[in-house]
Chains A and B, each alone.
Chain A
């Protein structure tokens, strides 16, 4: 009977000890909580902030910068998102205070027409010029190669494929 009591006591003590340890270390592994208060808002913040420039950095986006002003601006944008503003409204808000410089995606306006349409115009122009030049060259091609025997023609074929 004594032994049963003793082992019972040991078991209770052990359980308490383990429980205490457990409580102290908080060892119940938890699934980590997202850092942001509101992950949905945060995701939108990151998307918008990637298109914005950190004004005090040497060419970094608002999303990745750790500068003080960047923290402040992110806080502003977060506030605006929570207020329900659209992406355009948020960008306009910042542009009204800092100018177009704050946008990494330049606005499409008169002075940036060349910037936005230039690449595609250039590509189109390149294709046109290319076709024109190639046609010119092709016109100079002699219509037939001078008479070749069948064996020579086959060798020619093979060489042209290498």
Chain B
């Protein structure tokens, strides 16, 4: 009979252990199911008129895909970090401009070609003013490509290997520490510069 009385205490201790571990986790961080899977294909316009880009063309290299937008505050934080990184390393970074024109802006009602031109101009201005870390910059105007990649909050950064397989995803702004300690080693691991 006496041992039965210890059950509540034992169960409670177990609970506390789980809660303690839980405290160290971030419930907002969602792991990506795309790790280890081929990067979804897309064909999007770039900042240069008439030019388009597809991840196919980067097969054979290890590269980073950075999802960002000029309206995103955290992206502004990571931008100088990315600029510095792109200067110091040979890893190509592709920028994916995610829904550059937002639904609450008046420009949202423009026809597609004008909207695209507007987005191009705005991103171009931003990159000229703040530095351009991207080898190529593509525009995902309606966010569909973002959904393919499981984007749920900008900025997000993907590491894609020579076979075009996603190997790592970082959600939130990258810092110098994360780039040097986490991402660069992985780049090397997958055969990059």
Q: Which 9 A-B pairs have CB atoms at the shortest separation, nearest pair first?
A: A97-B150, A55-B152, A99-B33, A72-B143, A101-B30, A98-B150, A56-B152, A56-B153, A76-B147
Q: Main secondary structure on chain A at its contact with chain B?
A: helix
CB-CB under 8 A from B31, the residues of chain A are: 99
Q: Within the assembled complex, what's the spacing in Å between the Cα atoms of A97 and B151? A: 8
Residue among A73, A95, A96 with the highest chain B CB neighbour number at 10 A: A96
Contact size range, B: 10 to 19
A residues lining the B interface (CB < 8 Å)? 55-56, 68-69, 71-73, 76, 95-99, 101
A-side contacts of B146, CB under 8 Å: 72
Residues of B within 8 A of A73 (CB): 147
B152 x A98 contact (CB < 8 A): yes
A-B contact pairs, 14 of them (CB 8 A): A55-B153, A68-B102, A68-B103, A69-B143, A69-B152, A69-B153, A72-B146, A76-B144, A97-B148, A97-B149, A98-B152, A99-B30, A99-B33, A99-B150
- Asked if A98 and B30 sit within 8 Å, CB to CB, the answer is yes
- How far is B144's CA from A40's CA once the two chains are assembled, in angstroms? 24
Chain A contacts for B149, CB-based, 8 A = 97
0/1 interface trace, chain B 17-37, chain A, CB 8 Å (1 if under): 000000000000011111000
Q: Which residues of A contact B102 (CB under 8 A)?
A: 68
| Neighbouring B residues of A97 by C-beta, 8 Å | 33-34, 147-150
**B15 CB → nearest A CB, Å:** 14
